[in-house]
Chain A
Amino acid sequence: KAGVTQTPRYLIKTRGQQVTLSCSPISGHRSVSWYQQTPGQGLQFLFEYFSETQRNKGNFPGRFSGRQFSNSRSEMNVSTLELGDSALYLCASSPMTSGNNEQFFGPGTRLTVL
């Protein structure tokens, strides 16, 4: 079974631009979560989608948004990029939301904002 895939793997943008990141979960997984990882803040939860509905949301500004499609693929969008948005963005999928299910992570998208 193929793992979680994220595209693109690397991205360079300039301040003020917007970016869209994509995540394809493991086949059959309906929950997709997004995390931001930085050296200073560690791993921070962005949001979780299940069956096309946002189930949980972290403490990030409205510039960060996401969505999930009927095939469980998910995208996240960051508008008006700031230097501090430079990070590794990780996507994780699991069969169901919450519970005792472990999450399966993709390799991440490394975003650099200049």
Chain B
Amino acid sequence: AQSVAQPEDQVNVAEGNPLTVKCTYSVSGNPYLFWYVQYPNRGLQFLLKYITGDNLVKGSYGFEAEFNKSQTSFHLKKPSALVSDSALYFCAVRETGSARQLTFGSGTQLTVLP
């Protein structure tokens, strides 16, 4: 079975400060991990993914995520938050070699305060 948890429903951060959106996962084997962002009344947009290799993955709009196998985490980070980063963020997982669908977390609403 595969699952993903986003422990924070809401994250608030001041503009210019670093931001972190947390994600932990559970798979039987190795994971493929993804981050998506959703703006109001829009579909999800792909930000970045971890397949294998370097634990630090860089993605769109200055976002990056760090894969930590021992902690089964894949937290999304950005060094300096922008007001325009305010959106709903989803973490997703699929076990490597699995034919199962992507499993999404419950989402974290990020609000960047000016």
Given A105-B44, A107-B43, A100 and B32 touching (CB < 8 A)? yes
Query: Could you tell me if B106 and A42 are in contact, using CB atoms closer than 8 angstroms?
Result: yes
Query: Could you tell me if A90 and B43 are in contact, using CB atoms closer than 8 angstroms?
Result: yes
In the complex, A45 Cα to B36 Cα: how many Å?
A: 15
Q: How many chain-B residues does the 8 Å CB contact rule pick out?
A: 24
CB < 8 Å neighbour of A56 from B36, B42, B99, B105 = B99
- Determine whether A21 belongs to the interface, using a CB cutoff of 8 Å to chain B: no
Query: Could you tell me if A4 and B104 are in contact, using CB atoms closer than 8 angstroms?
Result: no
Residue of chain A at shortest CB distance from B48? A102
Given A33-B101, A98-B99, A100-B49, A42 and B107 touching (CB < 8 A)? yes
Query: Could you tell me if B51 and A90 are in contact, using CB atoms closer than 8 angstroms?
Result: no
Contacts of B25 in A (CB 8 A): none
Q: Is the interface of A mostly helix, strand, loop or mixed?
A: strand
Query: Could you tell me if A97 and B44 are in contact, using CB atoms closer than 8 angstroms?
Result: no
In the complex, A100 Cα to B99 Cα: how many Å?
A: 11
Query: Could you tell me if B101 and A102 are in contact, using CB atoms closer than 8 angstroms?
Result: no
CB < 8 Å neighbour of B101 from A42, A56, A105 = A56
The bracket for how many chain A residues form the interface is 20 to 34
In the complex, A108 Cα to B41 Cα: how many Å?
A: 8
Given A97-B99, A100-B32, A102-B34, A90 and B107 touching (CB < 8 A)? no
Nearest Cβ distance between residue A45 and chain B, in whole angstroms? 5
- Determine whether B55 belongs to the interface, using a CB cutoff of 8 Å to chain A: no
Contacts of A48 in B (CB 8 A): 101
18 pairs from A and B in contact (CB 8 Å cutoff) = A4-B43, A33-B101, A42-B104, A43-B107, A45-B101, A45-B102, A45-B103, A45-B104, A92-B44, A98-B98, A98-B99, A100-B96, A103-B46, A105-B36, A105-B43, A105-B44, A107-B41, A107-B43
Minimum-distance CB pairs A-B, first 9? A105-B43, A105-B44, A102-B46, A43-B104, A56-B101, A100-B51, A42-B106, A100-B32, A107-B43
Q: Residues of A with Cβ closer than 8 Å to B? A: 4, 33, 35, 42-43, 45, 48, 55-56, 58, 90, 92, 97-100, 102-108, 110
